[in-house]
Amino acid sequence: MSRIHPGPSVVSEALRPSSTIDASSSCPEGMLETGRRHYQVCTRCVMDTSDPDIVFDDRGVCNHCHTFDRVTSKHWHPGPEGRVLLDGLVARVRESGQNQEYDCILGLSGGVDSSYLALKVKKLGLRPLVMHVDAGWNSELAVSNIEKIVKYCEYELYTHVMDWEEMRDLQLAYLRAGVANQDVPQDHAFSSSLYHFAVMNNIKTVLSGGNIATEGIFPVAWHGSAMDAINLKAIHRSYGCLSLRKFKTISFTQYYLWYPLVKKMKTLRPLNYIPYNRADAMAELERAVGWRSYGRKHGESLFTRFFQNYYLPTKFGYDKRRPHLSSMINSGQISRAGAMKSLEEPLYPPRELETDLHYFCKKVGINRDEFENIVAQPNRHYRDFPTWDRKYQLLKKTQALVERLTGRTYNVYS
**Contacts to Zn ion by CB under 5 A:** 42, 44-45, 47, 62, 64-65
Which C-beta is closer to Zn ion: that of 45 or that of 180? Answer: 45
Of residues 57 and 286, the one with the C-beta less far from Zn ion: 57
Whichever of 42 and 129 has its CB closer to Zn ion, that residue is 42
CB of 56 vs Zn ion, minimal distance in Å: 8
Amino acid at 367: N
Which residue lies nearer to Zn ion by CB, 105 or 339? 339
78: CB partners within 8 A, 6+ apart: 213, 274, 275, 276, 331
Rounded to an integer, what distance in angstroms lies between the CA atom of residue 201 and that of residue 217?
A: 34
Whether the CB-CB separation of 289 and 149 falls below 8 Å is answered with yes
CB-count burial class (<10 Å; 0-12, 13-18, 19+) for 160? middle
Helix/strand/coil for 383: helix
Minimal distance, residue 333 CB to Zn ion, in Å: 15
Q: How far is the CB of 292 from Zn ion (least distance, A)?
A: 32
Strand 128-134 to strand 104-107: parallel, antiparallel, or no bridges (unpaired)?
A: parallel
Q: Which is nearer to Zn ion, 62 or 175 (CB)?
A: 62
Q: How far is it, in rounded angstroms, from Cα 412 to Cα 409?
A: 9
Residue 236 or 324 having the CB closest to Zn ion: 324
Measured from the CB of residue 51, what is the shortest distance to Zn ion in angstroms? 10
Query: For residues 105 and 205, is the Cβ–Cβ distance under 8 A?
Result: yes
Count other Cβ atoms within 10 Å, centred on residue 82: 18
Cβ at position 41, least distance to Zn ion in Å: 8
Q: Are 43 and 59 in contact (CB under 8 A)?
A: yes
Q: How far is the CB of 39 from Zn ion (least distance, A)?
A: 15
